Amino acid sequence: MREDTPSRTAAWVAAARGLGRLLPREIRLADDPFGAAFTSLALARMIEEAASDIPPSTSLATALHMIRSPLARMPGLQRWILYMQVRTRVIDDVVRTFALQDNAQLVLLGAGYDCRALRLPELGETRVFEVDHPATQGHKRRVLDKIGYTSPSTYVTWDFETQPMDDLPAALAESGHDPTAPTLTIWEGVTMYLTEPAIEASLAAIRAWSAAGSQLAMTYFARGRLARPTLTTRAIAAVVARVGEPWRWGWVPDELPGYLEERGLVLVDDIALADAARELLPLDLARVVDDADRRFALAATPESIAVIER
Ligand SMILES: C[S@@+](CC[C@H](N)C(=O)[O-])C[C@H]1O[C@@H](n2cnc3c(N)ncnc32)[C@H](O)[C@@H]1O
Tell me the pLDDT tens digit for each residue of 74-111: 888 999 999 999 999 999 999 999 999 999 999 999 99
Mutation choice for ligand 1 from 192, 193, 199, 236, CB with most ligand atoms inside 8 A:
193
Q: What is the pLDDT of residue 31?
A: 95
Average pLDDT value for residue range 283-298: 94
Q: pLDDT tens-digit profile of 127-177? A: 999 999 999 999 999 999 999 999 999 999 999 999 999 999 999 999 999
Q: Whose CA is nearest to atom 16 of ligand 1?
A: 1
- Residue 168 inside a domain? The answer is yes
- Residue 36 inside a domain? The answer is no
Residue type, 109: L
Q: How many domains does the chain have?
A: 1
- Residue 135 inside a domain? The answer is yes
- Residue 140 inside a domain? The answer is yes
- Residue 249 inside a domain? The answer is yes
- Residue 71 inside a domain? The answer is no
- Residue 184 inside a domain? The answer is yes
Model confidence at 1, pLDDT cuts 50, 70, 90, reads low
- Other CB atoms within a 10 A radius of the CB of residue 255 amount to 10
Q: Where residue 167 sits, what CATH number does that domain have?
A: 3.40.50.150
Burial level of 51, CB count in 10 A (0-12/13-18/19+)? buried
Model confidence at 61, pLDDT cuts 50, 70, 90, reads confident
Instruction: Say if pTM beats, i.e. exceeds, 0.85.
Output: yes
Give the Å distance between the CA of 288 and the centre of ligand 1. Answer: 25
Domain span including residue 106:
77-309
Model confidence at 186, pLDDT cuts 50, 70, 90, reads very high
Residues composing the chain: 310
Q: Whose CA is nearest to atom 27 of ligand 1?
A: 112
- pLDDT of 310 > 50? The answer is no
Strand order of the β-sheet with 105-109 is 154-157, 127-132, 105-109, 183-187, 215-221, 294-300, 266-272
